[in-house]
Every structure is written in C-alpha cells, then in structure tokens.
Amino acid sequence: MPTSLALCAVAVGAVVATPTEAQGAPAQGLVGAQQVGAFDQGAGLATAAVATKVSDSAQLTRQAIGQSRIQYLAAVKQAGAKSVAVSLRARRAVGYAKSKLGGQYRWGGTGPRSFDCSGLTMMAWRQGGVRLPHRARLQYRRGHYVPKSRLRPGDLVFFYRAKSHVGIYIGGGKMIHAANRREDIKVSTISRGYYARKFVGARRLA
C-alpha cells in the first residue's frame, strides 16, 4: 500500500504540475508575439526609409535627365540657328555668282559687269558678309579646309598647284567661275574632266 500511494502521489503531482506549465506557456507566447511585432515595426520603418531614399534618388535622376534634355534641346536649337545663318550667307554668295553668269572676264575686274576669278568670289562672299582679299592664293588661307567629298554650295574651290584659280561651288559637282577671256563667267563641272584633274583644295568660309 505505501508503494501504491507513493506512485499515486507522483502521478497526481505530474497532473497538477501540467496546468502550471500550461499557464506559463501563454506568457512566453505573449513575449514572443511582442518581439515579432517589434521586429515587424522596425522592418517597416527600414523599408519606408529605403523607399524614401529610392524615391528621392529617382526624383534626382528625373531632374538630372530633365536638365540634360533642356540643355540638349538648347544646344540643338543653337546649332540649328547657326546652320540656318551659314546657309543664308552661302546662298547669298551663290545667288550673286549666278546673277553674273554670262558676264565678261576681265583681269583685275571686281564688277559689277566684269570680273576675274578672285574678283567674282570676293564680291559674291561680300554679299554674305565675308571680306576676302582679291587674290586666289590669299583666299585659300581663309576659312577652313573641306574635303572634296563634303563640298556644299558656297565653298570656294581652288585649282593648280599655285592655287591661282578659284570658283564658287554651287552643288551637283559644279562651280561658277570667271574662267578666262574666251569663256567669261560660266558654270563648269569639277567632278570630272579638266577641272577635276586640276583641283587642289576647297575652303569653307562660314
């Protein structure tokens, strides 16, 4: 009997202890929940901070892109205006040369009815606001070099090693020039034939 009672006491103690442990479990669960909640709150704040930084970075990027676009458009507008100005000046020079077609060649002539080669180009570009000396070789020192493959109307084209002859390019592989006493002021091709062989360079004035 004493042994049986002892065993019963042990059993009863185990049963009684179980509710006590069970009562402690919700307290531990509450602490765990509070820790998880605190973690979630901290993670939320960190996420919000990162999102704010990303948003600020994106806004700065958009602002930078916007400023770059504005600068780009301004540069394009400025370049376009400059190109238009150059085109107008060149057209005036070419237009003047065309108006003198059929005119007389005269050594040292500067117009208005007779010209030599450098006199014609000098007066043509004067209409475009550019002052040139009255010698072909000296005109070659003005402006900047242009390869033959990139000629455009208004460019000066030069011939012979001494650069002693000059004409004004009008497009399509042709120029207007005061040729000589026999041919006067005329259009000649520079893409083939005699003047193609004698071509030595070209200059762009504006």
Q: Which residues are catalytic?
A: 117, 165, 177
Distance CA 128, CA 95 (A): 10
Distance CA 177, CA 101 (A): 9
Distance CA 53, CA 113 (A): 76
204 and 155 Cβ atoms separated by less than 8 Å: yes
Residue with the two structure tokens 């062989």: 197
Residues 6+ apart with CB under 8 A from 129: 89, 206
